[in-house]
Structures are given as structure tokens and as C-alpha cells.
């Protein structure tokens, strides 16, 4: 394991000051009471068995990484299994291999002129991965893009048997708002140019009735929409329900989110609270409010999310998508979505994605062989899990700090403040050749005797996972996904007169627990 590299500036950086006045009771801008399963995960279907292994040979590294979140919160981890690849799956229960690129002849109800974006055939061995992970619930995507209902029914039947009590819902399709857009490389669309929300709703109502009838499912058992990062009018929840989307079949609605794109600025797009708020509000605020007003019994889920989409070069941008800065964005963004009213977020996993919390196996990515490894965003997820914790009736509120780079959030349990998260989003790199800036944050109004301070840190904002630590611990492939102590875990600071001062460096996050 690589030792942590600590930045030692030649000069002492001058500290700025910031003050947060802590509301002792839950403020008006706080979230509703949150489910402790708020932090979920999502797996691209093509990569599923890489993450799980099989019942007889589980991927120990990956299984332990999944279990990290249950070990911290004690709550079930919800996993959305799907994506563009899953949407084009064909299921062959007689195929011996878990997954192949061999395609059968198109069925009569499939469009013969369409070449599949993801030509994978799935065998029963692929479904065995659904039995590997403990303490999870599955939102399992139905392959809609193929337009093969009979095969989808068969796939759902056998997947439901494999999931057993871990089944949560069937998701209907993936990003249907892009079905009439040109597909990758092929230049052939999944649906005609005229395809819109009414067409999706017609398919949704027909397919959910057929699947529910064949599998003897009653009540709302389906996740609808799964709209892309680019969803815009006329694609919305309101349009879908106005078109007659079967409410009695709908358990949740889902949309996707990626804030940046490979090659863009880390400071400008991710380590930028104003940008995070602006984009998230524009993307979700009205849609979530519509659901709460018109269909309050159907939660809104951000079912696939990550820091950034890739680019056409195929070379992952690890600085943007897998650094300490990515982890800090992960904290800021997830906690902010709590205040918007989302039910859950599912952070995306994929073997070839730099933004994935971890890479489960050795794989060639961007022309380079890369080992199984933890990636930077994992540490942001762990931080969020620690803030959620095990206490009941969690509400989260954003606190103003008076400093443009320092973002604060408070966690209230049963109406009482229990934790404060501080994130300094100022990007600092060792290459700047200047002392690392820091801020002394004064918190006032605390009803506690001491606070325990735990730190998410690394030598600079672009540090990769081998140099990042949370509360003095790292999780690595070498440790098979179990935490290893690499430094000091926490510090206890006395509260005097309801006030405490803490020092936070640029490109760092602190979690304060009231004692």
C-alpha cells in the first residue's frame, strides 16, 4: 500500500475566518425526514458480474466495499441495476455463459432495421450475481429498447426468482427521452423520430400490466421514466402522468444526473457550490415539487448519478472524476439533493468509469491496463454514510458560512443537531507552489461539551485514492475492501460557551459530531 504523501508548505498559509451560527432547532430550509438508505448505488449491467462475482466465487474486494455502507448506517443499500447496456439485453436461459456478445435473430416484434447499441446476451449465470450481496434491495431494469416484451417477461420472471426478498422494483427502460436520438456509432435509433412521452406511456402501461400479470405482482412495483441527464420538455413526470401513466403500477419515478464532462475544470464545475446548486435546481427542483404536489405517494429518485460524463476520446479524466475534488463534490451534491426533496440517490458504478467509487477487477481502460482499485468518489460516499449514521429521524439543512468556498450542512436527529459537515471547495494543488490556504470556522450556538472532528483529506485537490484518507483510514483492493488505519482517526475539541473553532484546509472536508 502506498504511504500517504503529506503536503508540507515552506511558508505558513494565512488563515481566513468564517462563522456559522447554528440553529438549535431544525431550520425552515431543512429536508424532510430522510430514509437512512438515502445513499444508494447503481451498476451498469454489462459490468454487473465484475462487481459481484458469483455465489461460489464472490468478488471479495467488491462485496466488502458494498458492505461498508450497511456497516456504517445499519440500513439496506438500494442498488439500481441497469443502464444503456441492460436496456438492450437479450435473455437466453439456456446459455451457459453469464454474458456474451452473441445475438439471436431478432424476434418478430423487434425492429429489424435497428442494430443494437449493446449487443449482449445474458444467461442464468448472470442472474446468480443477484444472490451474492447481503443487505441490499434491487431496482432491476427491464430491457425496453429491444421492444421484445415476451423476452422481457421471461427475464423478469427469472430475475425475480434470483432476487427473492431483495426485490424492490422493476425499472421500465433507460433514458427513453434519448430513444429517438442517434445511437453510438451505429446511426440507428431505438425508436422512430416521432417517439415521445405518450408513446413511452403506452408501452409502460402495456408492459407493466403484462409483467405484473405473468409474475403475479400486485400494487405499485415499477420505477418509471429513468430520464437522461439531458431530459427536457416534453419529457417530464407531469407530461407522463397527464398522458395516463399507470399510477397504480408506479412505485417511484427516476431521473439521472451528471454535473460535468471529461476535460472540463475541476474548480469550475465540481468544486463550485454555486454551480452545483444552479444545475441541481434547474434539473430537479420543479420536477420534485410537482411530484410532491400531484403525486405525494410516489417518491422521486435520482437513479443514476456521478460527477461527470466521458468524452469521445475514450480516455477517462481521472483528475476530474476520481480525485479528492470529486469526493468533495460528492459530499456537497448528495447533501444538497437531500434538501431538494429527493427520496434517494444512486451513485453509478462501472468497471470502465473513472467516476465509479471503485473498479472491481483489472481491466484495460483508455488503452491502459489498470488494476482493481478504489477511486476517489468512494470517499465522498463514505463521508455521507457517516453523516447519515444510525440515529433515527434524520433531517439535513444547509448552513451559510460567509465564505464563498466553505459549505456547511447540519444533521438533525429527532429535531436535535447531532453533526455538522464542512466542505472547503477551494481547489489547491501542490503544483501551485504556494502554501495551502485554510479557514478557521467558528461555530456558535452549539449545545454540546465537545465535538469529535474527523477529516477527509489528501495532499491536494487532485489527489487520487491511494493518497486520500477518511478519518485516518483507507479502503483498498489490497485490503480486500476492508478499512486500514493509515493515520490519526479523529480529534476531540472542547466547546466553550456554545462556540468552537476548527481549522479546515483548502480541498478538504470535516465531519463534526456533537458529544
| Each residue's pLDDT tens digit, 117-167 | 667 999 999 999 999 999 999 999 999 998 999 999 999 999 999 999 999
249 and 217 part of one domain: yes
Domain match, 346 and 316 both: yes
Q: How far is CA 483 from CA 331, 462, 486, in A?
A: 20, 22, 9
Instruction: Clarify whether residues 458 and 321 are in a common domain.
Output: no
348 lies in the same domain as 452 = no
Strand 406-413 with 394-399, pairing: antiparallel
Residue 33 DSSP class: P
**Same domain flag for 264 and 407:** no
The answer to whether the CB of 344 falls within 8 A of the CB of 78 is yes
- What is the pTM assigned to this prediction? 0.95
367-373: Cβ within 8 A, 24+ apart? 367/314, 367/315, 371/477, 372/61, 372/477, 373/465, 373/466, 373/476, 373/477
Query: 99 near 68, Cβ under 8 Å?
Result: no
Smallest CA-to-CA distance from 165 within 203, 189, 137, 141 is with 137
142 and 46 share one domain: yes
- Report the pLDDT value the prediction gives residue 183, as an integer from 0 to 100: 53
| φ, ψ at 278 (rounded to 5°) | -60, -50
2 found inside a domain: no
- Of 372, 388, 404, which residue constitutes the final position of a domain? 388
**33 is a domain residue:** no
In angstroms, what CA-CA distances link 9 with 429, 454, 457, 495? 11, 22, 16, 30
Which residues is 499 bridged to in the sheet? Answer: 496
pLDDT of residue 106: 63
- Pair 104, 49 in one domain: yes
Which pLDDT score is estimated for 10? 35
Q: 482 and 426 share a domain?
A: yes
Given 388, 407, 442, the domain boundary residue is 388
Distance between CA atoms of 61 and 64, rounded to whole angstroms?
5
403-409 long-range Cβ contacts below 8 angstroms, 24+ apart: 403/16, 403/18, 403/439, 403/441, 405/273, 405/439, 405/506, 406/18, 406/439, 406/441, 406/504, 407/273, 407/332, 408/20, 408/441, 409/335
CA distance 364 to 45: 18
Helix runs in 164-281, H state only:
197-215, 237-242, 266-269, 273-280
Secondary structure (H, E, C), 409-444: EEEEECCEEEEEEEEECCCCCHHHCCCCCEEEEEEE
In a domain, 466, yes or no: yes
User: According to the model, what pLDDT value does residue 399 have?
Assistant: 96
Total domain count, the chain? 2
Would you say 344 and 302 are in contact if contact means Cβ atoms under 8 Å apart?
A: yes
Q: What is the pLDDT, as a whole number, of residue 14? A: 59
CB atoms within 10 A of CB 383: 26
Spatial neighbors of 496 by CB under 8 A, at least 6 apart, are none
CB distance 383 to 509 below 8 Å: yes
508 shares its domain with 462:
yes
In the prediction, which pLDDT does 109 show?
A: 56
DSSP 490: -
- 76 domain residue, yes or no: yes
Looking up residue 503, the CATH number of its domain turns out to be: 2.60.40.1180
Q: Residue 227: which domain range?
A: 39-388
116 inside domain: yes
pLDDT score recorded for residue 13: 57
Residue 431 Cα distances to 320, 327, 375, 456, angstroms: 16, 20, 22, 21
pLDDT value, residue 310: 84
Instruction: List strand residue ranges (DSSP E) for 159-261, in order.
Output: 167-172, 222-227, 250-261
Name, in order, each residue with C-beta under 8 angstroms of 185's C-beta and a sequence gap of 6 or more: none
Q: Which residues contact 57 (CB under 8 A, 6 or more apart)?
A: none
Indicate which CATH number applies to the domain containing 192.
Answer: 3.20.20.80
Q: Residue 1: inside a domain, yes or no? A: no
Cβ 143 vs Cβ 155: under 8 Å = yes
**How many CB atoms lie under 10 A from the CB of residue 429?**
21
The reply to whether 204 falls in a domain is yes
Of 355, 388, 421, at which residue does a domain stop? 388
Q: Quick: pLDDT tens for 421-478.
A: 999 999 999 999 899 999 999 999 999 999 999 999 999 999 999 999 999 999 999 9
Q: Can you tell me the distance from the alpha carbon of 490 to that of 492, in angstroms, rounded to the nearest whole number? A: 7
- Which residues sit opposite 501 in a β-bridge? 442
| Statement to judge: residues 339 and 249 lie in one domain | yes
Predicted local confidence at residue 321, as pLDDT = 97
- Using CA atoms, how far apart are residues 57 and 311, in angstroms rounded to an integer? 34
Check whether residue 136 and residue 164 sit in a common domain.
Answer: yes
- Between CA 279 and CA 255 the distance in angstroms is 14
Which one, of 304, 388, 422, 441, lies nearest residue 31 by Cα? 388
Residue 218: how many other CB atoms lie within 10 Å: 9
* 10 is a domain residue: no
List, for the chain, all residue ranges whose pLDDT scores fall below the cut of 50: 1-12, 112-113, 184-185
Residues 182, 96 within the same domain: yes
* 144 grid coordinates: 425496453
Short-list 218, 151, 204, 217, CA closest to 173: 204
Amino acid at each position: 500500500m502506498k504511504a500517504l504523501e503529506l503536503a508540507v508548505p515552506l511558508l505558513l498559509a494565512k488563515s481566513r475566518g468564517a462563522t456559522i451560527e447554528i440553529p438549535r432547532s431544525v431550520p425552515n430550509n431543512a429536508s424532510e425526514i430522510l430514509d437512512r438508505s438515502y445513499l444508494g448505488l447503481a451498476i451498469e449491467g454489462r459490468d454487473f458480474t465484475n462487481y459481484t462475482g458469483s455465489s461460489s466465487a464472490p468478488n471479495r474486494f467488491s462485496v466488502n466495499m458494498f458492505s461498508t455502507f450497511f456497516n456504517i448506517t445499519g440500513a439496506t443499500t438500494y442498488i439500481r441495476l441497469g443502464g444503456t447496456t441492460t436496456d438492450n439485453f437479450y435473455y437466453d436461459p439456456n446459455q451457459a455463459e453469464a454474458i456474451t456478445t452473441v445475438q439471436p435473430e431478432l424476434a418478430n416484434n423487434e425492429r429489424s432495421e435497428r442494430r443494437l447499441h449493446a449487443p449482449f446476451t445474458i444467461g442464468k449465470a448472470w442472474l446468480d450475481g443477484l444472490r451474492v450481496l447481503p443487505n441490499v434491495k434491487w431496482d432491476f431494469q427491464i430491457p425496453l429498447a429491444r421492444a421484445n416484451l415476451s423476452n422481457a417477461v421471461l427475464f423478469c420472471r427469472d430475475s425475480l426468482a434470483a432476487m427473492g426478498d431483495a426485490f424492490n422494483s422493476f425499472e421500465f427502460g433507460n433514458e427513453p427521452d434519448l430513444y429517438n436520438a442517434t445511437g453510438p456509432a451505429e446511426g440507428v435509433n431505438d425508436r422512430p423520430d416521432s417517439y415521445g412521452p405518450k408513446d413511452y406511456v403506452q408501452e409502460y402501461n402495456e408492459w407493466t400490466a403484462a409483467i405484473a400479470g405473468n409474475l403475479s405482482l400486485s400494487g405499485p412495483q415499477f420505477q418509471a421514466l429513468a430520464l437522461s441527464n439531458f431530459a427536457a420538455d416534453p419529457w417530464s413526470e407531469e407530461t407522463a402522468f397527464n398522458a395516463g401513466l399507470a399510477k397504480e403500477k408506479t412505485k417511484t419515478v427516476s431521473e439521472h444526473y451528471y454535473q460535468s464532462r471529461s476535460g472540463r475544470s475541476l474548480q469550475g464545475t465540481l468544486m463550485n457550490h454555486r454551480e452545483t446548486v444552479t444545475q441541481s435546481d434547474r434539473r430537479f427542483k420543479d420536477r420534485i415539487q410537482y411530484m410532491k404536489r400531484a403525486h405525494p405517494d410516489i417518491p422521486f429518485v435520482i437513479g443514476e448519478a456521478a460527477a461527470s460524463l466521458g468524452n469521445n476520446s475514450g480516455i477517462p479524466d481521472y483528475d476530474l472524476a476520481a480525485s479528492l475534488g470529486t469526493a468533495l463534490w460528492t459530499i456537497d451534491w448528495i447533501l444538497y439533493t437531500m434538501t431538494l426533496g429527493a427520496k434517494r440517490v444512486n451513485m453509478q458504478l462501472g468497471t470502465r468509469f473513472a467516476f465509479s467509487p471503485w473498479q472491481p477487477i483489472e481491466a484495460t481502460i483508455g488503452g491502459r491496463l489498470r488494476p482493481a482499485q478504489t477511486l476517489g468518489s468512494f470517499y465522498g460516499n463514505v463521508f455521507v454514510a457517516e453523516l447519515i449514521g444510525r440515529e433515527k429521524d434524520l433531517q439535513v439543512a444547509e448552513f451559510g458560512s460567509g465564505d464563498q468556498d466553505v459549505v456547511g450542512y447540519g444533521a438533525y436527529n429527532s429535531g436535535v443537531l447531532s453533526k455538522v459537515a464542512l466542505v472547503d471547495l477551494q481547489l489547491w494543488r501542490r503544483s501551485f507552489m504556494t502554501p495551502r490556504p485554510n479557514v478557521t470556522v467558528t461555530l456558535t450556538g452549539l449545545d454540546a461539551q465537545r465535538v469529535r472532528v474527523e477529516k477527509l483529506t489528501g495532499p491536494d485537490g487532485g489527489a487520487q485514492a491511494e493518497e486520500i484518507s477518511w478519518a485516518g483510514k483507507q479502503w483498498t483492493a489490497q485490503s480486500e475492501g476492508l478499512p486500514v488505519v493509515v493515520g490519526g482517526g479523529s480529534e476531540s475539541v472542547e466547546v466553550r460557551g456554545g462556540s468552537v473553532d476548527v481549522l479546515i484546509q483548502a480541498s478538504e472536508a470535516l465531519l463534526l459530531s456533537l458529544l
